[in-house]
Structure 1
Amino acid sequence: MLLYKKKEVKNLDNILYEKQVTCLYCNLPFKTTKVKQSKLIVKHKDHDFCTHYEGEINPYFYDVNVCPHCGYAFLGNTPELRNSEKEILRKNYIERLNKINLCGPRNMEDAITSYKLALIFSTLLEEQYLMTASLCLRLSWLYRFQNNPQEEERFLANALNAYLSVYEFEDLNHLAMGKATLFYLLAELNGRLKKYEETRKWFSRLFAEKNAEPRVVKMARERWYDYKEQIKEIGI
């Protein structure tokens, strides 16, 4: 695996920078590459919130921090680890992990590796349903960029299952993403997987939410219209 591939990409200095991060597992600091958000130009957004950008730098490649000291991989919004959680990670994975350095510029292979590492850790800590869902969804996006529909669909299904766990086990009234957005994603992911009855169910729940954000309701109504047209075409 390539560690630093600066010569492969043009004008990296204009858009990439180093940020110091402290590992949530070993508490050691390290520098890792990030993207200057102000330099990004949005091309378009997919209905499951995947953003496509102009140029050759993909900011999703750099969302996961991978500690070069211990190998722990985590998103920037990952909560602090309790000692009991660190022990679970140590026994089940950290001690057997072959450490890699992903702190420099990344290619698609590096990005997928970083997300899969973070997903392993998130899955081991069984209560991190929302984190697991987010990682699976972003992995599906990476495979979309790679034009790999089989793997994209696999991780969309994994994301759907994780978001269903969020619905079942999380306190929806204190959910950071909001209940309406969760319902929207459950509808959208089911739709992408051609589970149209489930899509109908989750959009109906969203429309029944009295306190749903108007922008989410508008987005959902437009998307439900799209799916109704798809359903008509295939004669369900």
Structure 2
Amino acid sequence: MQTKSSNKKVRSRFVKVAKYDTDFCSIQADSAVNSLYYNIFVCPHCGFSYSEDFSRYFPPTTMEIILEKVSSHWVPHHFSKERPIKDAINTYKLASYCGPLKKGKHIILAGICLRIAWLYRIKPKQGTRRKIFKFALEEYEASYSTEDFSCTQVSEARILYLAGEISRKIGNEKAAIKYFPFVSQKNAREASLIQMARHRFQELQLTQETTHPLLQH
């Protein structure tokens, strides 16, 4: 398996973020320069796709599995040039397929799925974004239950917040209300995250109050 290849990256000085969405998706000031498109590396020879968050370690037999499931079907293809959004989405999908074959951590796979959902915000596709959000939620919940996020930059509080926010975005307000209050109990030092969780929780409470049948006129 060959994994050495070149990959275009957007230099950080060219990335200007206008604002962040409630699920941390960056809204960049220049829509023509989106660093999100270039986070995945794809080997043009074997098709193995990964992000910088992937471990370099390949557990026993996983190399053979990737060769069978990915490389044997791969048509040599380069993603090293400028990527349109369609190519960007395809690279993330490839990484989301390779990750489990390599026995990657749930927290890494959750991040990949979340970013695919972000891309489908730019290129909407009926029903697909909701499905991808569900995959991301499942991976965040699995990461939380197995604690495989330890030794990563993702905190327990952030996982709980994202689980709540993704639940809210897919219309599961009951689950969202369950997750948000736990955020402030996990890491009091993450003040901005706690404040965001409180805002989302209050918004959901207000929505439920105004839509309650006994309060409608």
Query: What's the TM-score once normalised by structure 2's chain length?
Result: 0.89
Root-mean-square deviation (Å): 1.9
SS at 2:160 equivalent: helix
CA apart distance, 1:152: 1.2
Aligned-partner residue type, residue 24 of structure 2: F
**Is the 1:42–1:51 Cα contact (8 Å) retained in structure 2?**
yes
Equivalent positions of 1:50-65 (< 5 A) are 50-55=25-30, 56-65=32-41
Instruction: State the distance in 1 between where 2:151 and 2:59 align.
Output: 25
CA apart distance, 1:210: 5.5
Corresponding position of 1:102: 79
Corresponding position of 1:74: 50
Q: 1:93 aligns with which of 35, 50, 70?
A: 70
Deviates more, 1:120-129 or 1:215-224: 120-129
Instruction: State the distance in 2 between where 1:202 and 1:234 align.
Output: 21
Corresponding position of 2:20: 45
Residue 88 to residue 128, structure 1, CA distance change in 2 (3 Å): farther
Aligned-partner residue type, residue 72 of structure 2: E
Deviates more, 1:211-220 or 1:176-185: 211-220
Instruction: State the distance in 2 between where 1:73 and 1:154 align.
Output: 21
SS at 1:52 equivalent: strand
Corresponding position of 1:21: none
Structure 2 stretches of 5 or more lacking a match? none
> Percent identity of the aligned residues?
24
**Is the 1:180–1:212 Cα contact (8 Å) retained in structure 2?**
no
Residue 133 to residue 173, structure 1, CA distance change in 2 (3 Å): closer
CA apart distance, 1:194: 1.4
Residue 165 to residue 212, structure 1, CA distance change in 2 (3 Å): farther
Q: Which has the higher strand share?
A: 1
Indicate yes or no: 2:148 matched with 1:182.
no
CA apart distance, 1:225: 1.7
Instruction: State the distance in 1 between where 2:55 and 2:28 align.
Output: 28
Residue 90 to residue 34, structure 1, CA distance change in 2 (3 Å): same
Instruction: State the distance in 1 between where 2:152 and 2:15 align.
Output: 28
Residue 83 to residue 183, structure 1, CA distance change in 2 (3 Å): closer
SS at 2:198 equivalent: helix
CA offset digits 1:174-221 (Å, max 9, x no partner)? 453011001100111111111111111111222333645222211211
Q: How many residues align?
A: 211
**Is the 1:43–1:54 Cα contact (8 Å) retained in structure 2?**
yes
Aligned-partner residue type, residue 109 of structure 1: K
Query: What's the TM-score once normalised by structure 1's chain length?
Result: 0.82
Equivalent positions of 1:202-217 (< 5 A) are 202-209=179-186, 211=188, 213-217=190-194
CA offset digits 1:125-148 (Å, max 9, x no partner)? 344211111111000010011133
Indicate yes or no: 2:113 matched with 1:136.
yes
CA apart distance, 1:43: 2.0
SS at 1:33 equivalent: coil
Residue 144 to residue 210, structure 1, CA distance change in 2 (3 Å): closer
Aligned-partner residue type, residue 61 of structure 1: Y
